[in-house]
A and B are shown apart, each in its own frame.
Chain A
Amino acid sequence: MTAKSAPWIERRLAFLDGDEPSTRLPKLRAFETVVLLILVAEYWARAIPKWDGLATSYVVILGPATACCLIGLAPRFRRVAFAALAVMHAMVIWGEFPAAGNHAYLELLLCLLGAGLDVTDEADQVLFLRAVRWLTITIFFYAGLQKLVHGYWTAGQYLAFSVWIDSFRPVLAALIPDDDFARLLSFTRQVGDGPYLVTSPLFLAASNGAYLAEMVVAVLLALPATRRLGVVSGIVLLLAIEVAAREVFFGALVVNALLLFLPRARNGWLVPTVAVAMAALLLVRLGVLPEMKFY
């Protein structure tokens, strides 16, 4: 397919390229390995705290999903493993619909890419990289836009309300004046409680800065000249969000995707790092390591 005959969308997304060709394969291999490590850890992290309350479908899937993640670590079986994982993940989403989280859809999409594209094929490499990069840009952009249009961040209502959440409280204590903080803490989330409003400039700057930062990161990632800055800003922003939100699996997936924006293969270190982190999270769930809240 020549550049002229390529579908318009393909030409539109060509701005996402810019890799040194020899770096594509190692970059994608590392990316896929990290996805598999996150998936296997997440399957078990969701299972361990509620052994007795697990849905039968989840119990049935747990063993095969684990096997697929482990088998998939070998590159020659990877596409088959991703295909099976995509089917199982779709079953989980279907079973939980409409309550399945957005990270489950992201994981399903990544499994489908891993199953459908051959990372040893040059054209597929380009397609894979474009797809993950564009997905990442849309996630950042819409995460910010949704906060803006629904209007719970412009006057800080969302964060003021979130004082009751353990992991948010220490962060918010640093942003909210003491008297407002005590007032918000006195609420029990009952009808009639409120107002969940804080007028401190620092707090309002943080609340509005959150969604603006997400949309700015999307723009920085999209522009070739600012892509590196976008990667660094995106990771810093994610770390800041995760201090409160603790959505570690989603966060790790997005960091993994962010590193794929770098023109050289800079994501190899993420494989052992994520392996150790995921093992640590499972040890937390098993009670071997001290309790820590994460999702």
Chain B
Amino acid sequence: MKKRIVYLTLLALTLWPLAHIGLAMQYGLSPWKLCGWGMYATPRLGTLGMEVFYRDAGADQMRQLTAPETDERTAANAFLERHRWLGALARPAQLAETVLRARPHTEALKIVVFRPVLERDSGMIVMTTTEWEYPR
């Protein structure tokens, strides 16, 4: 039994980095984390940025959320930290739920994350954006 557990664990640890590479390429998972042994494989740039837009009932346009409540800020920070390492595998559903709960008149949300990346081919730092939309 003991042998079986050790060998199966070793097998899993041998195959996991291959899946890790696939997830990194497909979803932007960071090679630095999660036991894929990809430390130093990609550069780590500065902080991520986020903007949240909301549309209240009867309004035509989205407005930017400029003064978030404490729990909204906490949810946003928690999401950004997960998103930093998990890429597209981390979605801001919890944050959206928190914002929608705090704003009963809001009908739709748009969450935009800004992330500077070093482009591999050009060697230039560019800004990338990812958007999620959450209707109520």
Beta-carbon contact of A102 and B17 below 8 Å: no
Chain A residues contacting B11 (CB-CB under 8 Å) are 9
Q: Is the CB of A127 within 8 A of B2?
A: yes
Number of residues in A with C-beta < 8 Å to the partner?
Answer: 50
Q: How far is the CB of A127 from chain B (nearest CB, A)?
A: 6
* CB closest residue in chain A, given B22: A149
Establish whether residues A191 and B126, one from each chain, have CB atoms under 8 Å apart when the complex forms.
yes
Q: Determine whether the beta carbon of A158 is less than 8 Å from that of B40.
A: yes
Q: Are B118 and A161 in contact (CB under 8 A)?
A: yes
Give chain A residues whose Cβ lies under 8 Å from the Cβ of B86.
98
A-B contacts counted at CB < 8 A amount to 141
Query: Which residue of the partner chain B has the closest CB to A197?
Result: B123
Q: For A146, what are the chain B residues with a Cβ–Cβ distance below 8 Å? A: 17, 21, 31, 36-38, 41
Residue of A nearest to B123 (CB): A195
What CA separation (Å) do A7 and B13 show in the bound complex?
A: 17
Q: Does B65 belong to the interface (CB within 8 Å)?
A: no
Question: Are A138 and B43 within 8 A (Cβ)?
Answer: no
Q: Which of A240-261 contact B (CB under 8 A)?
A: 245, 247
Residue contact A105 to B35, C-beta cutoff 8 Å: yes
B window 67-110: CB within 8 A of A: 81-82, 84-86
Task: Please indicate the chain A residues that have their CB under 8 angstroms from the CB of B25 in the complex.
Answer: 149
- Is the CB–CB distance between B40 and A245 below 8 Å? yes
Q: Give A247 to B37 CA distance when docked, in angstroms.
A: 14
Chain B residues, CB < 8 A from A101: 32-33, 39
Interface of A is mostly: helix
Decide yes or no whether B26 CB sits under 8 A from chain A: no
Which applies to chain B's interface (DSSP): helix, strand, loop or mixed?
mixed
Q: Is the CB of B5 within 8 A of A116?
A: yes
Question: Which residue of A99, A150, A190 contacts B33 across the interface (Cβ within 8 Å)?
Answer: A99
- Contact string against B for A residues 80-91, beta-carbon threshold 8 Å, 1 for contact and 0 otherwise: 000000000000
Q: Is the CB of A145 within 8 A of B21?
A: yes
Asked if A287 is at the interface of the complex by the 8 Å CB criterion, the answer is no
Given A7-B3, A99-B85, A162-B43, decide whether A193 and B38 contact each other with a Cβ distance below 8 A.
no
Flag whether A67 is at the interface (Cβ < 8 A): no
Contact with B along A145-163 (1 / 0, CB 8 A): 1110111110101101110
Residue among A98, A109, A158, A193 facing the most chain B CB atoms (10 A cut-off): A98
Chain A residue, CB-CB nearest to B128: A191
CA of A152 to CA of B38 in the docked complex: distance in angstroms?
12
- B79 to chain A minimum Cβ distance, whole angstroms, is 12
Do A192 and B125 touch (CB < 8 A)? Answer: yes
Residues of A within 8 A of B126 (CB): 191-192
Complex CA gap A145/B40 in Å reads 11
Given contacts A9-B10, A99-B85, A145-B21, contact A152 B4 (CB under 8 A): no
Closest 8 pairs (CB-CB, A-B): A146-B38, A195-B123, A194-B124, A142-B37, A197-B123, A146-B41, A142-B17, A105-B35
Known: A9-B10, A146-B38, A190-B125. 6 other contacts (CB 8 A): A7-B7, A127-B2, A149-B21, A158-B43, A189-B116, A194-B119
Listed A/B pairs (21) with beta-carbon separation below 8 Å:
A9-B8, A100-B33, A102-B32, A127-B6, A139-B37, A143-B38, A145-B17, A146-B36, A146-B38, A149-B25, A150-B41, A158-B40, A158-B41, A158-B42, A162-B43, A191-B125, A192-B126, A193-B124, A194-B122, A195-B124, A245-B40
